[in-house]
Amino acid sequence: MITTLHPTPEVSTSVTGRKPSKRKTFSVINPATGQPFAEVPAGKISDLDAAVAAARATFSVWSATPDRERQRLLHAVGDALQSNMAALMELVTKETGKPLKGLNGVGSGMEVGGAIAWTHATADLTLPIEIIQDNDEARVEVHRKPLGVVGSIPPWNWPLMIAIWHVIPALRAGNTVVIKPSSLTPIATARFVELANEILPPNVLNIVTATSDSRVGSAMAGHPGIDKLVFTGSTATGKKVMQNAAGNLKRLTLELGGNDAGIVLPDVDPKKFARKIFGVGFHNNGQTCACLKRLYVHETIYEELCAQLAELAKNVIVGDGLDPETDLGPLQNKAQLDYIEELVVDARSHHGRILAGGHPIRVDGYFFKPTIIADVTDGIRVVDEEQFGPVLPVIEYSDIDDAIRRANANSNGLGGSIWSNDTEKAAQLAMRLECGTAWVNEHGALQPNAPFGGVKQSGIGIEFGHWGLEENTSIQTVKMMKRI
């Protein structure tokens, strides 16, 4: 059945005062079937202009709302997400393909649950006035002030949760927001906006759904009425966002591509560590920026760990995410499926040894067998490029210094990990990785009170905790002289 979602009244009517006319829509595909399951409005740049104007008009009211009231309203949004969790999970599964539960519990339940947790945690954050001087001569205070209108462009892999990561800190700081979800996965985000707009004042949160060729996204980056843009996506697109944002020196938070390396030390027992390593490389079908995507394994345990990972890959249940038994669903879109197949074909041509998987599953939908590739190394596409799919290249090394050098040689720097029984030694090695977050015996685990962001070409800016909240503000220093 095809469900039609309508634009929020704030975007359609608040500026013109007229009822919305019949407008064009575009289809949203269920990647498990390859067929449309919903229609959403095909917004235009004029809709973006209206949304920005509405957000700007209400900024003075929202920014002046007492802090405790903004806090209360955002907690109410979190409660609304909780009350609608089951329905939101189904929407997330239908548009992304991720299972309801998923491998190691990483599925749409985790996505919606994470969205709820981040909403409440962010609502609890405060930015108190800092007093840096208070003596007989003067009092100097540092204030954090909201920026104005914040634009949000979340990706298709975790559409609802990353929308929350963008939107809630911006609102908490006193900004108004315009969000444009991915054209591939706009449904759960649109529902979140509907729920939030039953609680928030009109025009505080606005949404424009649009196709990828509408130029609405690029117009957001260059829009003079948007004071900051938060974008999560590819490095190539992030660079275009920076270029377009230069016109009004728009502030940016960019969380871009990652090609995260994990290094396994020789003291590891492959049987003990394999399941955890497999999980952090394959959850959400590898479609997570901070998934483990390159695995460097010491030569003494290389073959055994490869064999263990291959056995796990062969036994994973791949299917429709609405089936509660499914571990991994389809890739989110056909282009990503084709790209994964291209990388595997290239690896084969360079004598990569396919230990498991290595081919699409020829059914309706965008399914690919979980794949382990041995005997590849740096310089081959499947190692050098971010796969963003259910493919893990395993690379043999003999010297730890060389392994760290190779891990750091990539232009990305989002996350990295060291795996060892000696956690103190592993932590010291982790500090040598050139990445925004380094894990020991873990990979990709995020939490709302720990800062997250990339270095090198994996982005600029920080999300989460008071660090992320501060990025939605400007600093104003107030100096009050006590002697005249």
Q: What is the pLDDT of residues 387-428, one digit of tens each?
A: 999 999 999 999 999 999 999 999 999 999 999 999 999 999
Distance from C-alpha of 223 to C-alpha of 180, rounded to nearest angstrom: 13
CA distance between the termini of the chain? 74
As a whole number of angstroms, the distance between CA 404 and CA 282 comes to: 22
Task: Give the CATH H-level superfamily of domain 260-448.
Answer: Aldehyde Dehydrogenase; Chain A, domain 2 (3.40.309.10)
- Summarised one tens digit per residue, pLDDT across range 367-376 is 999 999 999 9
373 within 8 A of 391, measured Cβ to Cβ: yes
Q: Give the pLDDT of residue 356.
A: 98
3-state SS class at 298: strand
- pLDDT for res 18: 31
Distance CA 265, CA 424 (A): 13
Please name which of 76, 74, 110, 80 lies closest in space to residue 92, comparing C-alpha atoms.
Answer: 110
Rounded to two decimals, what is the model's pTM? 0.94
The pLDDT value given to residue 23: 79
Q: Taking Cα atoms as reference points, which of 189, 159, 169 lies closest to residue 251?
A: 169
Q: What topology is assigned to 3-256+458-478 in CATH?
A: Aldehyde Dehydrogenase; Chain A, domain 1 (3.40.605)
Q: Which DSSP string do the residues of 379-436 spell out, in sequence order?
A: TSHHHHS---SSEEEEEEES-HHHHHHHHHTSSEESEEEEE-S-HHHHHHHHTTS-SS
Say yes or no to pLDDT of 431 above 80: yes
Geometric angle at alpha carbon 116, from 51 and 148, rounded to 5°: 30
Higher pLDDT: 19 or 46? It is 46
How many residues are listed for the chain in this entry? 484
The catalytic residues are: 255, 289
Residue extents of the structural domains in the chain: 3-256+458-478, 260-448
Tell me how many helices (H) and strands (E) the chain has: 16, 21
